[in-house]
Structure 1
Amino acid sequence: MLRELDAPPRLAAHLRAVHDTALDLVSWLAEHHPEVAVDTEAVLFGAATHDIGKCLHPGELSGPGSRHEPDGHRLLLSMGVPERLARFARTHASWDDPGTTLEDHLVSLADKVWKAKRTPDLEQLIVDRLAGEAPPWQVFMELDDLLTAIADGADARLAFQNAYPVTTGTL
């Protein structure tokens, strides 16, 4: 898909870093909270494509902007991607909107913590969804340990991403 869109190499590197972080999150969930139903396929696809709209707005790779969100959603739909998977292009930056799911929150969290950015309100939403029978403080501490470990690898992931050019080229 990225080759077809002639995606900038930096975007491909970013999407890989976020995907790999999302994989860490869903693997942890499966081990520590197997009772919580999560659509792993959707989370991983969402993490791997959430910024695909930056193919249309390459300036947003190195600068601010949110036009890539609705345009990425429309782009994925036009490529035949089902709404349940395309939605992450639209929801990854609006995780606090009504109707967002645990899957939306996990993609948003992966998009933050891969670079060691912590977002307390987002993390609390996830803790609240996971707490169930367990005390929320315990779930918070477990999640905090995971996110701290993920954040410890941020420098290497940032160096990996930044080794690729922002300009479009063959992947």
Structure 2
Amino acid sequence: MLPLPPEATALLAGLGAPRRLVAHLRLVHDVAASIVDWLGDNHPELVVDREAVLFGAATHDIGKTVHVEELSAPGTRHEAAGHRLLLSRGVPERLARFAGTHGSWSAEGVELEDLLVSLADKVWKAQRVDDLERLIVDRLARASGREPWEVFLGLDDRLTALGDEADERLAFQNNHPIRR
């Protein structure tokens, strides 16, 4: 498993992030790195801000340090809280935005990098979301000039392979306590 970016690690430590949250962020970060690497190999014409995607994946749920109950129950309050928290800690908007956008991929102005963080946050546990994947396929098809079905087949293969490892990732996350 890849280490989190040092800035993310420092933020999480400074906030006393629960071990379960840190484990989750490491897993999503790892999946995001795999997706970005796949894009580089299969869509070299595409410019992706790798640093932003990896930082976004490593901090997208940082608002759960404020709303700890959302580590074990559904909720979206952590999204705006995380965005505010990162900005208050001096994180630039280009990196802080993922805390707020990872759950709203159909919103106006969402960039490909935002979609990739959202995708990693779903695929780490083998969850597939058709409308999210369609948005990504459309952007990749436009950028590459390939047919959407062709782009989908390649992406589907990558996401299926990532999903095949979901049980191990879920077990890893669940071995870490929710409480600080």
Alpha-carbon offset, residue 64 of structure 1: 1.2
Partner of 1:20: 30
Q: How many residues align?
A: 168
Name the aligned partner's letter for residue 165 of structure 1: P
The residue matched to 2:14 in structure 1 has which SS? coil
1:114 aligns with 2:127: no
Structure 1 residue 160 corresponds to structure 2 residue 172 = yes
Q: 2:97 aligns with which of 83, 87, 95?
A: 87
Give me the whole-angstrom Cα distance separating, in 2, the residues matched to 1:135 and 1:95. Answer: 22
1: distance between equivalents of 2:70 and 2:117? 19
Letter in 1 for 2:128: R
Cα deviation 1:75-133 (Å, max 9, x = unaligned) = 00011000000000000000110110100000000000000000011001000000131
Q: Could you tell me how far apart the structure 1 residues matched to 2:156 and 2:115 are?
A: 15
Aligned to 1:56: 66
Tell which has more relative contact order, 1 or 2 (C-alpha 8 A, sep 6+): 1
Q: Which runs of 4+ in 1 moved over 6 A?
A: none
1:42-81 equivalences in 2 (<5 Å): 42-81=52-91
> By how many angstroms is 1:65 displaced?
1.1
The sequence identity of aligned pairs, in percent, is: 67
Q: Quick one: distance in 1 between partners of 2:118 and 2:155?
A: 15
Letter in 2 for 1:80: G
1:45-97 deviation digits (Å, cap 9, x = unpaired): 00000000000010000001111100100000011000000000000000110
> How far does residue 135 in structure 1 lie from its aligned partner after superposition?
1.1
- In structure 1, runs of 5+ residues without a counterpart are none
CA RMSD between the two structures: 0.5
- TM-score normalised by length of structure 1: 0.97
**Structure 1: distance between partners of 2:155 and 2:14:** 37
Separation in 2, partners of 1:68, 1:98: 20
Matches of 2:85 and 2:108 in 1, distance apart? 23
